A and B are shown apart, each in its own frame.
Chain A
């Protein structure tokens, strides 16, 4: 057992830290890539993304032939830690870089790889995913958005929802039904659709935080060329499920955000006084703060198990399956703790927003309940009957 990072990660850490010191402008620090970005924010993020890409930091886990450095888990972890430490904004194409690009690399034509991937990496094109529909959420494979082949075009009709960055997107990784008679997983096709085509309407979807974070996308007789096809017709499910083999660093880094919030919450409790005493002296508040701190630290310990698993060539185990939902539990525990420790301060500003936003963590990317079904069957081997 050894919990120390390998010593050879240190030079890369120092390289990244120095680069960030010289290249991260003050106005970019802490800039969010969430919600409806105004034009100045978008412009700033685009410039930042290009800088990252030109320095080779935008997609380090990608293979070298696509402009990455085939970085292993340790480099990915170190980069994420340093970006977090410097409060650098996240990349403009988080879903594109982590989720869509692996599918293009695995299934795309040479033309698709050559034209789409470099622009995605630089943030020149913004990408969204068109997966969920009003009637297809957790049961994604029941999606109904139709595409019918007409000569050298697919005619697309239907509606998508929960599209992060949809209002800004230049491209969409779109799942459509091409064979309504096949079993539901086998009649789906993946298209890389140009979002500027006629017949596409994007409407903002206002979330309960009051932000236009997502979009709804409507397709009305949209003519997408067959060159937009990614992978074989009716194999879109396999295409969409492609991930990078070294992707464990993504969930392993979830602790970074929560631990920073927990440190801020403890500091806020030290500064807030009730009846002349800091809240951090209140016995009940101390229990709650210590508990949320403990869970934050354990999320890091769990991340170390994931990292070490990849580093030592073990297949993902139970730790990988529970990481996302334990993170979501902590995000929500931070929300509840802020309410009881900070009082009215927790119903405004960042703390208020944080508490509301924490509800999304157990829904987005697969609900906690679906995840538990999967854990019960695949990890614990409980029967389906």
Chain B
């Protein structure tokens, strides 16, 4: 029994952190902030070389065949720099989906970093937890309708699209498909609206087959949030340990200390639940994997924005400027909250599991 990362995982973390700090830190995030395409070719190539793009892809498709607990390390590190690339949508989401539908060619392209793909799930007016009941119309394998909040659609080569008739694979250069960027207060994430007008797609299977992919993506999103929240706390503590007012460091004031202690409590509870959820994704019980993922997102959505807000508060006026990085993490945590539904949505999903059903305790005793 161990809840911590293994030594190999910590070594992997250290390598990733060094790369991100040197080549793709918050300076890179700022540089990409207003660009339609979040990524540059050289950084993406490095991500491939580091094993990020192939991490979840099976070995027979040129991947590494790693567990979600390894991907958790990646996502935490990406969150620490508010990384703008399509790792969440493509390396976690599309890679897992492509493995389920055994799309060998796509898997190889994703693993090698030559292509990226994403999932088009949400539709106007829908609650995210109803994602399986998509309305997008399909006639003779051509799709018509609108998907919203599609992550990293610009730059992606393929879309996994849920519809009234199941999941389709659609090339982003297919005739009749238009992708329009959607505004987001967090410039480190990209979303788009995707319109389909008689767009040809390849049928893959039932929407429900994506359920484990959704759970993995929920947990990965929260791992990214944990990394960002951890960095926000570190920055706030460092600032409070230097900034002087009334002749003393502001970190010596109890008002500041208690804010920081509250942030630590929220963070460590989140880490405990996150690591459990990562393990549950790998452990092979789909019900437990889902329950853990739902708890993870409900907790992250409710709590992580508070950590970001407290960090801004500790920075005072400096926290309200564009110049200081703390704003990047606050925005990252807000988009972590809102993406795929806030705490209300996921607490209701949890209620459906544990009040209407009889959920088992977290450990089989």
Contact = CB atoms under 8 A, between A and B. Distances in A.
B1 A325 contact: no
B128 interface: no
Nearest to B252: A385
A286 B347 contact: yes
A290 B257 contact: no
Interface in B72-116: none
Contacts of A375: 261, 264-265
Nearest to A314: B4
A382 B256 contact: yes
Interface in A331-385: 369, 371-373, 375-377, 379-385
A287 B348 contact: yes
Contacts of A318: 264, 268
Contact of B276 (A291, A294, A304, A373): A304
Contacts of A266: 354-355
Contacts of B273: 297-298, 301
Contact of A300 (B241, B350, B356, B362): B362
A298 B269 contact: yes
A280 interface: yes
A326 B251 CA distance: 23
A283 B241 CA distance: 44
A297 B362 contact: yes
A372 B361 contact: no
Interface of A: 1-6, 74, 81, 85, 259, 266, 269-270, 280, 283, 286-287, 289-291, 293-295, 297-302, 304-305, 307-309, 311-312, 314, 318-319, 321-322, 325-326, 369, 371-373, 375-377, 379-385
A2 B279 contact: yes
Q: For chain B, what secondary structure do more than half of its interface residues adopt (helix, strand, loop), or is it mixed?
A: helix
A383 B244 CA distance: 11
Given A2-B2, A304-B3, A381-B237, A85 B258 contact: no
Contact of A301 (B2, B272, B348): B272
B348 A286 contact: yes
A290 B264 CA distance: 23
Interface centre among A6, A293, A326 (most CB of B within 10 A): A293
Interface in B259-286: 260-262, 264-265, 268-273, 275-276, 278-280, 282-283
Q: For chain A, what secondary structure do more than half of its interface residues adopt (helix, strand, loop), or is it mixed?
A: helix
B356 to A, nearest CB: 8
Contacts of A2: 1-2, 279
Nearest to A259: B361
Contacts of B5: 1
Given A300-B362, A375-B261, A322 B354 contact: no
A369 to B, nearest CB: 7
B362 A305 contact: no
A41 B276 CA distance: 41
B348 A382 contact: no
Given A326-B265, A372-B258, A383-B251, A6 B362 contact: no
A305 B240 CA distance: 28
B42 interface: no
Contact of A81 (B241, B251, B350, B365): B365
Nearest to B72: A1
Given A1-B6, A301-B276, A375-B264, 16 more contacts: A3-B279, A3-B280, A298-B295, A301-B3, A304-B1, A305-B3, A305-B271, A308-B2, A312-B4, A373-B261, A377-B257, A380-B237, A380-B261, A380-B264, A382-B241, A384-B252
B299 interface: yes
Given A283-B348, A290-B351, A385-B248, A373 B265 contact: no
B173 interface: no
Nearest to A302: B272
B254 interface: yes
Contacts of B265: 322, 325-326, 375
Contact of B361 (A270, A291, A300): A300
A380 B71 CA distance: 27
A318 B275 CA distance: 15
A63 B252 CA distance: 41
A307 B270 CA distance: 17
B172 interface: no
Contact of A294 (B280, B344, B347, B355): B347
Contacts of A326: 265, 269
9 residue pairs, one from A and one from B, having the closest CB atoms: A376-B257, A385-B252, A372-B261, A301-B272, A286-B351, A382-B251, A290-B347, A290-B351, A290-B350
A13 to B, nearest CB: 8
Contacts of A6: 1
Contacts of B344: 287
B351 A3 contact: no
B298 interface: yes
Interface in B1-22: 1-6
Contact of B1 (A290, A307, A321, A373): A307
14 contacts: A4-B1, A74-B1, A290-B347, A290-B354, A291-B302, A294-B298, A298-B270, A301-B3, A304-B1, A307-B1, A308-B2, A322-B268, A376-B261, A379-B264
Interface in B154-205: none
Nearest to A311: B1
B129 to A, nearest CB: 13
Contacts of A3: 1, 3, 276, 279-280, 283, 363
Contact of A1 (B279, B348, B361): B279
A304 B299 contact: no
Nearest to A4: B1
Contacts of A259: 361
A291 B347 contact: yes
B337 to A, nearest CB: 15
Contact of B295 (A270, A297, A305, A385): A297
A307 to B, nearest CB: 7
B249 interface: yes
A372 B257 contact: yes
A290 B298 CA distance: 9
